[in-house]
Amino acid sequence: MHYHAFDHYHAQESRIHHLDPRVKVLLTIGFILSNALLPDGSWLAFAAAWLLLLWANDQTRLGLGYTFRRSFVALPFAIAAVSAIFSPLGQPLAEWNLGFITLIPTDFGVVRFFSILARSWLSVQMAILLVATTQFPDLIHAFEHLKTPRTLTTIIAFLYRYLFVLTDEAYRLLRARSARSAGLPGKHRGGSLFWRAKVTGSMAGQLFLRSYERSDRIYNAMLARGYSGHIRTLNPHTMQRSDWLMLILSVLLLLFIQIIGWYR
Amino acid sequence: MPVKHKTTYPLTLPDCEGDILQIHELNFAYPDGHIALRDVSLNLCSGDKVALVGPNGAGKSTLMLHINGILRGEGDVAVSGLPISDENLPVIRALVGVVFQNPDDQLFSPTVFDDVAFGPLHMGLPENEIHQRVDEALAAVQMQGFGERLSHHLSMGQKKRIAIATVLSMQPQILVLDEPSAGLDPRARRALIHLLRDLPQTMLISTHDLRMVQELFPRMVIMDEGHIVADGKATELLTDAALLETHGLEI
């Protein structure tokens, strides 16, 4: 039994799926950077970025609304931007008295809030698209090619590999607990809150102990097979002409979006 | 728990229609679409000792997880006449003692005592009864005096016995064990066989150890690809070489 909660790769035959992972990583970072650099209230540029995103969605053949449907995971983070509405710069729009505090939304603040919302919403969708079209090992590989420190990529690769083992382990512990969480008619069930907290605490402790011991065993198994400090991989990725074309075209489109944002 | 050694073990099937466990046309598919159980029907009577055998991936563990309602498929499951429902679940979990294959899953508390006491504590029993039940359960698996030991420092055979004690302390009517003899050395396996023989509860035990089945279980159920393909006297099924080979079993 496995949890697939973190595995978001969607197999499909498409131009984007076959693109070199380095290009995809660079373009995603470029897209996020471009959104961050756009001035507040440049709605036309945001719309252009959105069109670019839709085009990318279409190219993956996962459907136009693919990333939109999955973008709501980022919604809770938008709450962090709510305070921007009450920015003291700009003209006040209303006055909300909540008893202990008076909130004054301003026109500048509202524009800023929606701009932040647009930026994060667009950026999250592009990241979702990257993960959906690139296998995780390829993604790690791309970061290695782009000179991300080896230690960092190795940690991420191991994290990804053993996250599933760990969630499975946690899941089995929880299942064993619920199998013994019985009750008798007419008796209070579940013990005291303190006792339940203690049980949960020791389960977390067990999970840590086991992960720790497992990491030792894994390391020994790696040493036994000649591990010397960094993971070597074969290098199956070479930039094709189509990869360069896609990279150049997309960078030009991003520049175009910037021009719309700043000069319109 | 009275530990009385029987010299001759009755290899006959009790005559009833399933007073303690009734499973009727149970179907289950995992969320990824893999169908694990297809039209499974199984009745267990009080005192029945049933071996559930079949290749890996046949659906044995999935079936076992339905008996205490951890998984809920389509079809009817009733324990002691109680159909599985949200309302009955606490009582059913007290009636059915499930021991998982890997004792490390079962033992999640720091000490052996805490683990064996988990079930009774959750059931809200008074303290003196909890102590009494823990002592009885540990005695039944011959692990007296291990209460203060740390679970993760025990040997595999000891962990398996403690795992069985963690459900015995709940005084269940049915014991459901998932591959109890897997990974044990001959001596620990022998000790486990004696333990299972002496426990009075109704048992449904999944295993690949057909020599243990031969020795211990009057009734045997063979599962393959989510179906129950045979259900009958172990002595008869175990001599059917063609049947065993078809379903990847070996004595």
Instruction: Give the model's pLDDT for residue A149.
Output: 87
Say what the pTM is: 0.70
Instruction: Give the model's pLDDT for residue A9.
Output: 77
Residue B223: phi, psi to the nearest 5? -115, 145
pLDDT at A232 over 70: no
Instruction: Give the model's pLDDT for residue B9.
Output: 43
Calpha distance B207→B179 (Å, rounded): 5
Contact at CB, B125 and A202, closer than 8 angstroms = no
- pLDDT tens digits for B186-225? 999 999 999 999 999 999 999 999 999 999 999 999 999 9
* Average pLDDT, integer, range B106-131: 88
Number of Cβ atoms within 10 Å of the Cβ of A37? 14
Contact at CB, B93 and A182, closer than 8 angstroms = yes
- Tell me what percent of the residues of chain B surpass a pLDDT of 90: 59
Contacts of B121 in chain A (CB under 8 A): 191, 195
Higher pLDDT, A263 or A12: A263
Contacts of B124 in chain A (CB under 8 A): 183-184, 187-191
Q: Are the CB atoms for B246 and B80 separated by under 8 Å?
A: no
Contact of A203 with chain B, judged by CB distance below 8 Å, is answered with yes
Q: Which residue of B has its CA nearest to A170?
A: B105
Calpha distance A97→A91 (Å, rounded): 17
Contact of A177 with chain B, judged by CB distance below 8 Å, is answered with yes
Higher pLDDT, B135 or A12: B135
**CA of B109 to nearest chain A CA: how many angstroms apart?**
6
Helix (H, G, I), strand (E, B) or coil at B97: strand
Instruction: Give the model's pLDDT for residue B99.
Output: 92
Higher pLDDT, B174 or B250: B174
Provide the pLDDT confidence category of residue A188 given band limits of 50, 70 and 90. confident
- pLDDT tens digits for B22-71? 999 999 998 878 899 999 999 998 888 999 999 998 999 999 999 988 88
Provide the pLDDT confidence category of residue B10 given band limits of 50, 70 and 90. very low
Contact of A150 with chain B, judged by CB distance below 8 Å, is answered with no
Calpha distance A66→A163 (Å, rounded): 25
pLDDT at B6 over 70: no
Instruction: Give the model's pLDDT for residue B52.
Output: 95
Higher pLDDT, B82 or A163: B82
Calpha distance B178→B186 (Å, rounded): 18
Instruction: Give the model's pLDDT for residue B193.
Output: 93
- pLDDT tens digits for B101-114? 888 888 888 889 98
Provide the pLDDT confidence category of residue A262 given band limits of 50, 70 and 90. confident
Contact of B108 with chain A, judged by CB distance below 8 Å, is answered with yes
Provide the pLDDT confidence category of residue A13 given band limits of 50, 70 and 90. confident
Pairing mode, if any, of strands B174-178 and B96-99?
parallel
Q: Least CB-CB distance to A182: which of B65, B90, B108?
A: B90
**Contact partners, residue B217, CB within 8 Å, separation at least 6:** B49, B50, B51, B205, B234
Instruction: Give the model's pLDDT for residue A26.
Output: 93
Instruction: Give the model's pLDDT for residue A187.
Output: 81
Instruction: Give the model's pLDDT for residue A244.
Output: 92
- Inter-CA distances, B135 with A16, B29, B117, B139, B197, Å: 64, 40, 10, 6, 20
Contact of A11 with chain B, judged by CB distance below 8 Å, is answered with no
Residue B222: phi, psi to the nearest 5? -105, 130
**CA of B90 to nearest chain A CA: how many angstroms apart?**
4
Instruction: Give the model's pLDDT for residue A221.
Output: 75
- pLDDT tens digits for B225-235? 999 999 999 99
The tokens describing A23, both together, are: 């290009």
Q: Which residue of A has its CA nearest to B34?
A: A1
Calpha distance A70→B204 (Å, rounded): 44
Instruction: Give the model's pLDDT for residue B110.
Output: 81
Q: Given the structure tokens 């709605």, which residue do they identify?
A: A43
Q: Are the CB atoms for B41 and B23 separated by under 8 Å?
A: yes
Instruction: Give the model's pLDDT for residue A99.
Output: 78
Contact of B102 with chain A, judged by CB distance below 8 Å, is answered with yes
* Average pLDDT, integer, range A195-215: 88
* Average pLDDT, integer, range B87-96: 90
When mean pLDDT is compared across A154-168, A217-231, B133-147, the lowest value belongs to A217-231
* ipTM of this complex prediction, to 2 decimal places: 0.72
Contact at CB, A176 and B119, closer than 8 angstroms = no
Instruction: Give the model's pLDDT for residue B11.
Output: 46
- pLDDT tens digits for B134-181? 999 999 998 998 988 888 788 888 999 999 999 999 999 999 999 999
Q: Which residue of A has its CA nearest to B123?
A: A183
Q: Which residue of A has its CA nearest to B64?
A: A179
- pLDDT tens digits for A91-146? 888 888 877 888 888 888 888 889 999 999 999 999 988 988 888 878 888 888 88
